Amino acid sequence: MKIARYEFKGRAWYGILDEAGGVLREIVGEPFDGLRETGSTRRLDEVSLLAPVAPGKIVAVGLNYRDHAKEVGMRIPEEPLLFLKAPSAIVPPGGDIVYPRQSKQVDYEAELAVVIGRRAKDVPASDASSYIFGYTCMNDVTARDLQIRDVQFARSKNFDTFAPIGPWIRTDVEPDALSVRCLVNGQVRQSGNTRDMGSPVGRLVEYISANMTLYPGDVIATGTPAGVGPITPGDTVTVEIEGIGTLTNRVVAREPAR
Ligand code: MG
């Protein structure tokens, strides 16, 4: 099942996507407590898709694919390396990534994103799937020059629009062998597979939930495969994950220097 979040008449709604019919079947409230349909349907062409979830926090994982760690001259850490992305950085599918004036190198990072469905504290890896609502695509946009200069990641990962996410949440997919690709202007730049993660999804839920409570709607960005590289204004960047969908955003001009 695919769950989308969308704007209709100035309000945010969740709905069940019926792709064949080109409609969304509206549900009551948030999807995490169960999917109760209101009986209303909306045509896809009368709504705009929002980010498919409004998380309290986005927990991101660095250096979780060996080939990516290698390309940046690092090794996979023994335990997952965590950082946070701010919900204020979220941009919906089709939204613009704004190139910040503070950076001279902004990179794409295609990532599988996990959407948590139940309050999760000290969850063993073997139970992780029952705490996961579903999966979506994320672009962990990064000001690489500032990430290196600042050492910690708060600024480089959190400029407004640096967290494109969507287009919807797929609830019935197994996460451990999915192709993850990034295309810039239609050219493939990353082509990886979640089977090459250092810590697979279950282990990430276990590790993160041992360190902090995860709540319904929280997102885990699970790290990026090899092939990261720059985007510049005018580019169109697409994250494509097998069985989930494609997330496309345009990069727009750097704000004028002040
Ligand atoms: Mg990343």
pTM over 0.95: yes
Q: What is the pLDDT of residue 21?
A: 87
User: pLDDT tier at 152 (50, 70, 90 boundaries)?
Assistant: very high
Whether 258 is covered by a domain: the verdict is no
Whether 121 is covered by a domain: the verdict is yes
How far does the centroid of ligand 1 lie from the alpha carbon of residue 110, in Å?
8
How far does the centroid of ligand 1 lie from the alpha carbon of residue 27, in Å?
32
Q: What is the pLDDT of residue 255?
A: 61
How far does the centroid of ligand 1 lie from the alpha carbon of residue 62, in Å?
6
How far does the centroid of ligand 1 lie from the alpha carbon of residue 128, in Å?
21
How far does the centroid of ligand 1 lie from the alpha carbon of residue 34, in Å?
31
How far does the centroid of ligand 1 lie from the alpha carbon of residue 31, in Å?
27
How far does the centroid of ligand 1 lie from the alpha carbon of residue 257, in Å?
27
Q: What is the strand order of the sheet 106-108 is part of?
A: 142-143, 106-108, 229-231
Whether 27 is covered by a domain: the verdict is yes
Among 13-22, 36-45, 155-164, 248-257, the range scoring the smallest mean pLDDT is: 248-257
Residues 38 and 114 in one domain: no
Task: For residue 24, give its domain range.
Answer: 2-49
Distances in Å between the Cα of 241 and the Cα atoms of 47, 79, 181, 227 are: 24, 25, 6, 15
Residues 100 and 27 in one domain: no
How far does the centroid of ligand 1 lie from the alpha carbon of residue 7, in Å?
28
Whether 229 is covered by a domain: the verdict is yes
Alpha-carbon distance of 31 to 223, in angstroms, equals 25
How far does the centroid of ligand 1 lie from the alpha carbon of residue 88, in Å?
17
Residues 78 and 143 in one domain: yes
How far does the centroid of ligand 1 lie from the alpha carbon of residue 224, in Å?
5
Residues 84 and 156 in one domain: yes
Quick check: 48 pLDDT over 60?
yes
Residues 152 and 76 in one domain: yes
Q: Tens of pLDDT along 212-256? A: 999 999 999 999 999 999 999 999 999 999 999 999 999 998 766
How far does the centroid of ligand 1 lie from the alpha carbon of residue 107, in Å?
10
Q: Tens of pLDDT along 74-131? A: 889 999 999 999 999 999 999 999 999 999 999 999 999 999 999 999 999 999 999 9
What is the percentage of the chain residues whose pLDDT exceeds 90? 95
Say which residue, 133 or 33, is predicted with more confidence.
Answer: 133
Whether 19 is covered by a domain: the verdict is yes
Residues 6 and 101 in one domain: no
- Of 75, 87, 59, nearest to 211 by C-alpha is 59
Q: How confident is the prediction for the chain on average, in pLDDT? A: 96
CATH of the domain at 28: 2.30.30.370
What is the domain count for the chain? 2
Quick check: 258 pLDDT over 70?
no
Q: What is the pLDDT of residue 119?
A: 98
Q: Which helix (H) or strand (E) holds 202?
A: helix 201-211
Residues 88 and 39 in one domain: no
How far does the centroid of ligand 1 lie from the alpha carbon of residue 142, in Å?
8
Residues 34 and 104 in one domain: no
How far does the centroid of ligand 1 lie from the alpha carbon of residue 28, in Å?
33
CATH of the domain at 90: 3.90.850.10
